[in-house]
Amino acid sequence: MSLRSKLILTFLAFSAALVLCVTLLVKWSFHRGFSDFVAAQRQVHLQQAADSLGRFYQAQGSWEPLRRRQRAMARALRPPDWGTPDDTEDSLPPPPREFFHRLYLLDANGEPVAGPSRSADPTAPPLPIMVAGKTVGYLGLSPRHRALNEREARFARQQGRQLMLIALAAVVLSLLFAWPLSRVLVARLEQLGQGLRRLSAGDLDTRVTPRGRDELAQLAEHLNHLAGSLQQSEQARRKWVADISHELRTPLATLRAQLEAIEDGVHAYNQQTEQRLLDQTKRLQQLTEDLYQLSLADAGALQYRKRHQTIRPLLEQALAEFAPRLHRAGLSLETAITLAPDLTLLVDAERLHQLLGNLLENSLRYTSAPGIIRVQARVENNRFKLEILDSAPGVAPQHLPHLFDRFFRVEGSRNRDQGGAGLGLNLCRSIVAAHGGEISAGASPLGGLSITITLPLQVI
C-alpha cells in the first residue's frame, strides 16, 4: 500500500471515528434533552388539566358528575380555548388525544373517580387539585406503552436522519480534504526521496527547493546542507590527493634528477651531492611522517598518554633544544615565562613537545634574519596561555583563518623554497584539540606571525 493510500485511510478512519463519536454524543444529548422537554410539556399540560378540573369542582361542588364517566371528564378538561397555541413565545400546542385517555382522577381520599386505574407515570407525578386552598382531589397520568407518542417519535426520527446526513457529509468533506492534502505531502516526500537517491548515486550537485516553513521544509534544508557538506568533503578529498601527489612528486623528482645526473656523469658524487640527496630524503621522510600522524588524528587513533606534568620544565627543555638552530639562522630567542614552578597540566609530554617543535620550526623556516622569536607563557583567565611571536615577514589578514588547513601555504614572502608541505600547523591544531584547548593565528607586534594556544588548567 502506498504512502498516499495510508495517509488517506488514516485520515478517513480518524475522521469517521471522530464523526461517529460526535454523532453518538449529539444523539444522546438530543434524546436526553428532548425527553426532558417532553416531560416538562406533559407537566404543564397536567397542570392545565388540574386547573380545569378545579374550576369544574368549584362549579359542581363534587366529583359525582364525573364518577365513572370518562367522556364527561374529557368534556370538562377540554374547553374551546384550552391548549390552543397563541402568538406568545411560551405558548404550547394542545396535547395529543392519547394524553386525555391516560388521565385518572382521585378524590381527596385517594379513591378513583374516573380514568384508568393504573400506576402513575414516574415522569408526571399526580398533582393536587386545589379549590379555595383545600385539596379536593388528585389528577395523575398513567404510564403509556411507548416512551414517545407518534408525533414526538416522528420528530425524533426526523432529527436522527438529519444528524446522519450531517455526519455523512462531514466524512465526505474530510475525504475531499484528505485527498489533495495527501497528494501535496506525498509529492514533497517524493521530491526529498529523489534528492536522496541522486545523492546516493554520487550527484553531489543535487539541491531540493524548500517549500514553506514546516518540518518538511526544514528537512529539505538539512538535505541541501548535507549535499553541500558532502560536496565540500569530496572537493577536499580530491585536493588532498592532488596535494599529496604534488608534495611527494617534488622531492622524488629532485632525487631522480640528481641520481640520473650522477649516473650520466653530469655531477660528481661528492659530499655536497650526498648532502643534497640526504636533504631531499629527509624532506620526503618528514612529509610521510606528517601524513601518517594526520591520518592517525583523523581516525582517532593518535594515542595520547596524558599525565600531570609540570609545564615549565617542558617549555624550557624545548626552547633549549631549538636555541642553537635559531642562533645559527640569525634569529634571537626571547622568553617571558611567568609560570609558577609547580604549575601542572594534564598533558601528553611527547605530544606537547611535538607541538612546540612544529611551531618553532614554522617560525624558523619563515622568519627573515636577523629576526626575533618571542615565546610568552602565563596563566590568564584560569587558563594556560602560550604565545609564539616572530618578526617579519607577516601574513595577510585574509590568509590567517586558513593557516591551519592542510597543505595551505601563503603565496609570497613566507612561502620560500625551504618551506614545508603545510601540514605542521594542521597537526598542531589536532594536538591542541585533543587536549581540550584552542589555537589561533594573528598578526604579531614584531611584524610577523603570532600563534596563541590556550589550555584549561584542569583537563578531564
Give me the mean pLDDT over the 373-392 stretch.
Answer: 93
The SS3 of residue 438 is strand
- pLDDT class for 187, splitting at 50, 70, 90? confident
* pLDDT number for residue 312: 92
User: Is residue 144 scored above 80 in pLDDT?
Assistant: no
* pLDDT number for residue 413: 44
| Closest CA relative to residue 435, chosen from 308, 355, 310, 346 | 346
* pLDDT number for residue 388: 94
Distance CA 333, CA 373 (A): 5
Instruction: Please answer whether residues 198 and 181 qualify as being in contact, where contact means their C-beta atoms are separated by less than 8 angstroms.
Output: no
* pLDDT number for residue 108: 85
- The rounded percent of the chain whose pLDDT value lies above 70 is 82
DSSP 251-320: HHHHHHHHHHHHHTTSS--SHHHHHHHHHHHHHHHHHHHHHHHHHHHHHT------EEEEHHHHHHHHHH
Distance CA 11, CA 23 (A): 18
Q: What is the pTM of this model?
A: 0.48
The listed range with the strongest mean pLDDT (237-241, 290-294, 303-307, 406-410) is 303-307
Lowest-pLDDT range of 32-41, 143-152, 235-244, 435-444: 143-152
Give me the mean pLDDT over the 187-192 stretch.
Answer: 81
User: Is residue 407 scored above 50 in pLDDT?
Assistant: yes
Between helix 3-60 and helix 150-200 the angle, nearest 10°, is 160
Give me the mean pLDDT over the 191-197 stretch.
Answer: 85
Between 306 and 34, the more confident residue is 306
* pLDDT number for residue 126: 82
* pLDDT number for residue 299: 67
Domains of the chain in sequence order: 3-150 (no CATH), 215-299 (1.10.287.130), 307-456 (3.30.565.10)
* pLDDT number for residue 414: 44
* pLDDT number for residue 415: 46
Strands (E), 67-207: 103-107, 112-114, 127-131, 134-141
Give me the mean pLDDT over the 87-92 stretch.
Answer: 52
User: Is residue 146 scored above 60 in pLDDT?
Assistant: no
- Cα torsion through 118, 63, 107, 127, rounded to 10: 70
